[in-house]
Amino acid sequence: MEDAGQVNEWFMREVLPLEPLLMRFFRRNWRNESDLVDLRQELYVRIYESGLKGLPSQTKPFVFMAARNLLINHVRRARIVSIEAVADLDAMNVAVDMVTPEREVTARDELRQLQVGLNNLPPRCREVVMLRRIEGLSQREVAAQLSVGEDTVEKHMMYGMRALINFMLGGSGKIERKPKGSRGSRKHEAVGHE
Protein backbone atom coordinates (compact mmCIF):
# COMPACT_ATOMS: atom_id res chain seq x y z
CA MET A 1 0.00 0.00 0.00
CA GLU A 2 1.47 3.32 -1.01
CA ASP A 3 1.11 6.52 0.95
CA ALA A 4 -1.50 8.79 -0.63
CA GLY A 5 0.77 11.83 -0.67
CA GLN A 6 3.30 9.86 -2.67
CA VAL A 7 0.68 8.65 -5.11
CA ASN A 8 -0.60 12.21 -5.55
CA GLU A 9 2.90 13.38 -6.29
CA TRP A 10 3.53 10.55 -8.73
CA PHE A 11 0.23 11.22 -10.45
CA MET A 12 1.06 14.87 -10.97
CA ARG A 13 4.68 14.36 -11.88
CA GLU A 14 4.45 11.35 -14.16
CA VAL A 15 0.90 10.63 -15.24
CA LEU A 16 -0.66 14.02 -15.99
CA PRO A 17 2.16 15.21 -18.26
CA LEU A 18 1.20 12.30 -20.54
CA GLU A 19 -2.25 13.73 -21.15
CA PRO A 20 -1.60 15.24 -24.61
CA LEU A 21 -0.28 11.87 -25.84
CA LEU A 22 -3.09 10.07 -24.14
CA MET A 23 -5.78 12.22 -25.69
CA ARG A 24 -4.20 11.75 -29.09
CA PHE A 25 -4.30 8.02 -28.51
CA PHE A 26 -7.96 8.17 -27.52
CA ARG A 27 -8.91 10.32 -30.48
CA ARG A 28 -7.19 7.98 -32.88
CA ASN A 29 -8.88 4.94 -31.48
CA TRP A 30 -12.29 6.11 -30.46
CA ARG A 31 -14.90 7.52 -32.80
CA ASN A 32 -17.08 9.44 -30.42
CA GLU A 33 -15.38 12.65 -29.31
CA SER A 34 -18.03 13.29 -26.67
CA ASP A 35 -16.95 10.18 -24.73
CA LEU A 36 -13.40 11.37 -24.30
CA VAL A 37 -13.79 13.30 -21.05
CA ASP A 38 -15.48 10.33 -19.41
CA LEU A 39 -12.95 7.89 -20.79
CA ARG A 40 -10.14 10.04 -19.46
CA GLN A 41 -11.68 10.20 -16.03
CA GLU A 42 -12.31 6.47 -15.89
CA LEU A 43 -8.73 5.82 -16.90
CA TYR A 44 -7.32 8.23 -14.33
CA VAL A 45 -9.39 6.62 -11.58
CA ARG A 46 -8.06 3.18 -12.52
CA ILE A 47 -4.48 4.38 -12.71
CA TYR A 48 -4.70 6.21 -9.39
CA GLU A 49 -6.28 3.28 -7.60
CA SER A 50 -3.72 0.89 -8.97
CA GLY A 51 -1.05 3.38 -7.91
CA LEU A 52 -2.33 3.16 -4.35
CA LYS A 53 -1.63 -0.56 -4.42
CA GLY A 54 1.86 0.00 -5.75
CA LEU A 55 3.55 2.39 -8.16
CA PRO A 56 4.62 0.91 -11.49
CA SER A 57 8.32 0.97 -12.23
CA GLN A 58 7.65 2.49 -15.63
CA THR A 59 4.74 4.86 -15.74
CA LYS A 60 4.34 5.45 -19.45
CA PRO A 61 3.94 1.89 -20.72
CA PHE A 62 1.71 1.21 -17.74
CA VAL A 63 -0.55 4.16 -18.54
CA PHE A 64 -0.90 3.25 -22.21
CA MET A 65 -1.52 -0.40 -21.45
CA ALA A 66 -4.30 0.68 -19.10
CA ALA A 67 -5.70 3.01 -21.75
CA ARG A 68 -5.74 0.20 -24.27
CA ASN A 69 -7.43 -2.21 -21.86
CA LEU A 70 -10.03 0.38 -21.07
CA LEU A 71 -10.93 0.83 -24.73
CA ILE A 72 -11.06 -2.94 -25.25
CA ASN A 73 -13.48 -3.25 -22.32
CA HIS A 74 -15.66 -0.53 -23.71
CA VAL A 75 -15.77 -2.18 -27.11
CA ARG A 76 -16.71 -5.49 -25.47
CA ARG A 77 -19.42 -3.85 -23.42
CA ALA A 78 -20.93 -2.13 -26.43
CA ARG A 79 -23.87 -4.09 -27.73
CA ILE A 80 -22.97 -3.72 -31.36
CA VAL A 81 -19.38 -4.30 -32.21
CA SER A 82 -18.68 -2.87 -35.57
CA ILE A 83 -16.15 -4.34 -37.93
CA GLU A 84 -14.38 -1.02 -37.75
CA ALA A 85 -13.99 -1.20 -33.99
CA VAL A 86 -12.43 -4.62 -34.23
CA ALA A 87 -10.09 -3.46 -36.92
CA ASP A 88 -9.07 -0.57 -34.71
CA LEU A 89 -8.38 -2.92 -31.83
CA ASP A 90 -5.77 -4.67 -33.89
CA ALA A 91 -4.30 -1.38 -34.87
CA MET A 92 -4.03 -0.41 -31.24
CA ASN A 93 -1.24 -2.86 -30.63
CA VAL A 94 0.76 -0.94 -33.11
CA ALA A 95 -0.39 2.35 -31.70
CA VAL A 96 0.96 1.51 -28.27
CA ASP A 97 4.34 0.52 -29.62
CA MET A 98 4.52 3.60 -31.75
CA VAL A 99 4.00 6.08 -29.01
CA THR A 100 7.18 8.04 -29.26
CA PRO A 101 8.77 9.89 -26.40
CA GLU A 102 7.18 13.29 -26.22
CA ARG A 103 9.32 15.95 -27.72
CA GLU A 104 10.75 18.16 -25.02
CA VAL A 105 8.31 21.03 -24.76
CA THR A 106 10.29 24.18 -24.26
CA ALA A 107 9.18 27.02 -22.05
CA ARG A 108 8.78 29.08 -25.18
CA ASP A 109 6.34 26.57 -26.71
CA GLU A 110 4.42 26.45 -23.50
CA LEU A 111 4.31 30.20 -23.30
CA ARG A 112 2.98 30.39 -26.83
CA GLN A 113 0.37 27.82 -25.92
CA LEU A 114 -0.66 29.91 -22.95
CA GLN A 115 -0.92 32.91 -25.22
CA VAL A 116 -3.21 31.09 -27.64
CA GLY A 117 -5.25 29.74 -24.75
CA LEU A 118 -5.67 33.23 -23.34
CA ASN A 119 -6.66 34.60 -26.71
CA ASN A 120 -9.37 31.97 -26.96
CA LEU A 121 -11.07 33.33 -23.87
CA PRO A 122 -13.77 35.98 -24.12
CA PRO A 123 -12.30 39.44 -23.38
CA ARG A 124 -13.72 40.00 -19.91
CA CYS A 125 -12.81 36.52 -18.77
CA ARG A 126 -9.29 36.94 -20.16
CA GLU A 127 -8.93 40.22 -18.34
CA VAL A 128 -9.85 38.63 -15.02
CA VAL A 129 -7.51 35.69 -15.51
CA MET A 130 -4.62 37.96 -16.49
CA LEU A 131 -5.10 40.31 -13.57
CA ARG A 132 -5.30 37.40 -11.12
CA ARG A 133 -2.65 35.04 -12.41
CA ILE A 134 -0.24 37.31 -14.25
CA GLU A 135 -0.45 40.61 -12.43
CA GLY A 136 -0.85 38.73 -9.16
CA LEU A 137 -3.73 40.86 -7.87
CA SER A 138 -5.99 39.46 -5.19
CA GLN A 139 -9.58 38.62 -5.92
CA ARG A 140 -10.71 41.70 -4.07
CA GLU A 141 -8.30 43.94 -5.97
CA VAL A 142 -9.49 42.57 -9.30
CA ALA A 143 -13.11 43.12 -8.29
CA ALA A 144 -12.34 46.71 -7.30
CA GLN A 145 -10.39 47.45 -10.45
CA LEU A 146 -13.12 46.15 -12.74
CA SER A 147 -15.94 47.44 -10.53
CA VAL A 148 -17.64 44.07 -10.30
CA GLY A 149 -18.49 41.79 -7.38
CA GLU A 150 -16.04 39.20 -6.10
CA ASP A 151 -18.45 36.44 -7.06
CA THR A 152 -18.33 37.63 -10.68
CA VAL A 153 -14.54 37.49 -10.52
CA GLU A 154 -14.78 33.95 -9.17
CA LYS A 155 -17.15 32.93 -11.93
CA HIS A 156 -14.82 34.26 -14.60
CA MET A 157 -11.90 32.53 -12.92
CA MET A 158 -13.72 29.21 -12.94
CA TYR A 159 -14.60 29.45 -16.62
CA GLY A 160 -11.29 30.90 -17.63
CA MET A 161 -8.96 28.62 -15.71
CA ARG A 162 -10.91 25.55 -16.71
CA ALA A 163 -10.74 26.44 -20.38
CA LEU A 164 -7.07 27.36 -20.12
CA ILE A 165 -6.14 24.18 -18.28
CA ASN A 166 -8.02 21.96 -20.69
CA PHE A 167 -6.37 23.74 -23.56
CA MET A 168 -2.88 23.49 -22.08
CA LEU A 169 -3.31 19.86 -21.16
CA GLY A 170 -4.15 18.96 -24.71
CA GLY A 171 -7.92 19.37 -24.90
CA SER A 172 -9.82 21.85 -27.00
CA GLY A 173 -9.99 24.81 -24.67
CA LYS A 174 -13.72 24.99 -25.08
CA ILE A 175 -15.97 24.81 -22.10
CA GLU A 176 -18.95 22.56 -22.01
CA ARG A 177 -21.99 24.42 -20.94
CA LYS A 178 -25.61 23.58 -20.66
CA PRO A 179 -27.28 25.32 -23.59
CA LYS A 180 -29.26 28.26 -22.38
CA GLY A 181 -32.18 29.06 -24.68
CA SER A 182 -31.24 30.57 -28.01
CA ARG A 183 -28.57 32.87 -26.62
CA GLY A 184 -24.96 32.02 -26.76
CA SER A 185 -24.95 31.06 -30.41
CA ARG A 186 -22.02 33.30 -31.22
CA LYS A 187 -18.73 31.53 -31.09
CA HIS A 188 -17.26 33.24 -28.07
CA GLU A 189 -20.34 33.38 -25.98
CA ALA A 190 -20.17 29.65 -25.58
CA VAL A 191 -17.07 30.19 -23.48
CA GLY A 192 -18.57 31.38 -20.29
CA HIS A 193 -19.21 34.96 -21.15
CA GLU A 194 -21.87 36.34 -18.85
Q: Which is nearer to other proteins, 89 or 133 (CB)?
A: 133
Alpha helices, DSSP H, located in 120-149 = 123-129, 139-146
Q: Which is nearer to other proteins, 45 or 81 (CB)?
A: 45
Q: Does residue 144 touch other proteins according to CB under 8 A?
A: no
Q: Report yes or no: 48 and 59 within 8 Å, Cβ to Cβ.
A: no
Concatenate the DSSP letters of all residues of 69-122 into one string: HHHHHHHHHSSS--HHHHHHHHHHHHHHHH-PPPPPPPHHHHHHHHHHHHHTS-
Q: Does residue 154 touch other proteins according to CB under 8 A?
A: yes
Q: Which is nearer to other proteins, 51 or 92 (CB)?
A: 51
Total residue length of the chain: 194
The dihedral through the CA atoms of 191, 140, 130, 17 has a sign that is negative
Q: Does residue 60 touch other proteins according to CB under 8 A?
A: no
Contact footprint for other proteins (CB under 8 A): 8-9, 11-12, 16, 19, 34, 37-38, 40-42, 44-45, 47-49, 107, 110-111, 113-115, 118-119, 123, 126-127, 130-131, 133-136, 138-140, 145, 154, 157-158, 161-162, 164-166, 168-169, 176, 178
